[in-house]
Chains A and B, each alone.
Chain A
Amino acid sequence: MAQTKRKPDLHAISNSKPTPSKDDLKKFYRDMLLIRRFEEKAAQLYGMGLIGGFCHLYIGQEAVVTGITSVQDTERDSVVTTYRDHAHMLACDMDPRMVMAELTGRIDGYSRGKGGSMHMFSKEKRFFGGHGIVGACASIGTGLGFAHKYKEDGGVAIVYNGDGGANQGQVYECYNMAALWKLPILYVIENNKYAMGTSTTRHAAGELYKRGEGFGIPGEQVDGQDIFEVQRAAKQALDYIREGNGPYILEMMTYRYRGHSMSDPAKYRTKEEVSSWKDERDPIDKVKRYMLEEEGMSEDRDLKLIEKEIKQIIKETEEFAQTSPFPDESELWTDVLVSAEDQA
């Protein structure tokens, strides 16, 4: 019988004893910092009117996708997520310049400027979107897992969804099929406490990580602000899945510092609440502290070097996204169908 597990007190600093190497730590720090700086730059470009429409930022949640990606098999596994997707693309090693160029609606964007913030894909990096309809990625991700099993390619589908999306009916239709057919799928619920402006206490009955219990899918609630915990839990879940046991649910307890999208002033929560997460539980600060205090790494040599590298990447990203041309008008008509001519 599958088990569900839960940490007794999520707000307590995790007492797990990580043993990451110095290189692992540097990579954690680098990858999370890249996401944060990228998102801050996106917010700035949005403010300048260079990015339009909806733009959902991931600031605060960086440890979730970074920790999981650190233990996935990037050659075989596939990833799908919601519209809060920039970080997942960066974690999948997609080119930040092309992601940002899509945000600015330019021809060098991943979708040639036709998708925007919420709709980007990379077949090469096995990133399957970027989906704008809440809950849809759960079904699509179940199909990715179905295909891994059908093709016997050893891959696992890593399917990100939010706490809001966790209430969609199709999620349970998919839990049922995934468990029935033992599909290789890691369902990640990024619980950032708010479905747009409605808190989990007002939109979700019971615990999200337990919602697979009726189907026999094990679930675990994890401190999503602690990358060591995220990594540990993801590794354990992926091992379980790769052994052929079927799907697994990880509920990542996390927090977004910004509003739901750029146009959300986030008045449904207090300043104190936001700053307590920022000040006490920031995932990047946690790794930084660990590097300095536990590992005795040097702020000047180790951290500054990384910060400088990220700064340079963001600078190039911004420049690229602002100078890449707008799509030619002929692009309006292309890519609606795969044409016989395209295939020849």
Chain B
Amino acid sequence: MRTLRVALATAVATVGLALAPSVGGAATHAAWPVTVRAANGAVTITQRPTRIMSLSATATEMLYAIGAGSQVTAVDKYSNYPPGTPRTSLNGYALSVEAVARYRPDLIIVAYDPPSLAAQLATLHIPVIYDPAAPSLAVAYHQYLGLGAATGHLAGARAEVARLRARVAAIVRGAPHVPVGTTYYYELDPTYYSVTSATFMGQLLSLLGLRSIADAGGTHVNGGYPQLTAEFILQANPSIILLADHGCCQATPSSVAARPGWSALSAVAARRIYILPDSIASRWGPRITILLQAVATDLRRAFG
């Protein structure tokens, strides 16, 4: 968390290094209305929003990171970061439009778009930005800029994107060189759901020179999140094991080592099993650098 604060301070200092504008309509963000492109098409916001509702935990983190936090008046129950967000009991996956309307939002951000939600909200004349889980860093950056333009914080968004780019580059530069062919098994849950290198997480990890064992079945199988068979994991014998199911399911290096048959794995023998903060690992917001740094540190322990 300290790292983040330091990083944010750096971001404020580097506001000048903004990127070329790639978002429609907002070279100077004082000019309303603005139109931004999101996954639900072009969204027009007629005036500066002051009652933003975020039903996406990642969007909430992004909004606060770009300086739009003071305009956010309600967030869903999963938006637990940064501390002090105006959390409600709303659940972005089971929404009642009336419950949403009660908060009188003037802009809504969702990461999940059930079939009729946007249409219903349109009848209330509330603009909805649909930013689903980003498939790549580039899309995450694009979402930042869209949120920046929509909330009047384009400069803040550009600064945050620049900070993330710089930080990612610095972590990758500072990471140890892993041996060629280093593979990982990334565990999403104790029934062996994993990620391929084509997913957001897989792309981050490939920046560090790692390859997922799940790629063997094609990187786009099951949307990049296949459930692997145990015997395949054993035969693939990954160089390291990354546990993203400690918070949810209490997986630990010792619980993995204790699984029948798993003691034969070289990652178990060499103790190359690492716990990742899973509350961060499922989001594509400002804290991806914390996750990336954690893996880089694990790699230094493993190969440094």
A and B: real partners?
no
* Contact surface of A with B, Cβ cutoff 8 Å: none
